Amino acid sequence: MIEKNKIFTLSGLIAPIIFASFVWLGGSLRTDYSVVSHTISALNQRGAPNKTLLDGGFALSYICMALFGYGLFRNGRRASDKYRYLIGVLLILSGVICFLMILMFPADQDYSAPTFAGKMHHVTAVIMVVLAIMMIRFSELEFKQSKWFKIYSLGSIIIIFAASFATAVSGIMAVRLEGLLERVSIGTFLQWIFVMSLNEFRGSMFSVKNDYKEKIGPI
C-alpha cells in the first residue's frame, strides 16, 4: 500500500503538470487565442468555448495542490515544523481560492461590461500573488541551510512580483502582453510547487532538520 505521504507528495508533483497541460490544450483548441496577449483566465472566462472541460482540468490541479498542502500541514504539525505547517495551510487556502475563481468569479469576457464576479476575479488573483510570495518566503526560511535554495526563493519572489505587476500595467495600458507576463508569474509559482514536492518525495534534499524524517515517519 502506498504511504499517505507519497500520495500527498505525488499530488504536488502532478498538480503543475495537469494545470500546464490544460492551459496548452485550451489554447490549442482555439484559433483566436494568443499566448502573448490573452491571459490564462481568458480560456475559461464567461462564455468561453470548452469552459466546462477546462474548468474540470483546472479543478483537478487545484485538488492536487490542496492535497499536497494537506500533506505539508500534516507533516509539519507532527514534526512541530512551523514553516512547513504554514506553507501547507496556505496551499490549502490557495486551492480553495482557485476553486472560487472557477465556480463564482470567472473572468469577464473581453470588451464586456465589468461584473461583480469579474472584479472579484481580479481581487482573488491579487490575493493569490500575495499567498504565493508568502509561501516561497516561508520555504526559504524552512530551508535556510541551503544557499542555492535561498537564491532560488529570492529570485522566484522577484519574478512573481515583477511579472504580476507588469501584467496589471500591461492590461491597464493595453500593451497586450498580459498573456506572456502572466505565464511567467504563474509558471514560476508552479515550478516552485514542483520543486517543493520533489523535495518532499526525495526526503529533504535541502538539508532540513535532521529529526524531521524521524518525526513524520517514512516518506
3 vs 14: which has the higher pLDDT: 14
Q: How far apart are CA 159 and CA 33, in angstroms?
A: 25
Domain range holding 79? 4-216
Q: Is the dihedral of CA 5, 9, 14, 20 positive or negative?
A: positive
13 vs 206: which has the higher pLDDT: 13
Q: pLDDT digits over 11-62, tens only?
A: 999 999 999 999 999 999 999 999 999 999 999 998 899 999 999 999 999 9
- Torsion, CA 182, CA 11, CA 9, CA 14, rounded to 10: -60
Q: What is the pLDDT of residue 10?
A: 92
Q: pLDDT digits over 58-75, tens only?
A: 999 999 999 999 999 998
> 51-78 and 4-28 are packed helices; what angle lies between their axes, rounded to 10 degrees?
160
Q: How confident is the model at residue 217 (pLDDT cuts 50, 70, 90)?
A: very low
Number of domains, the chain: 1
Whole-model pTM?
0.88
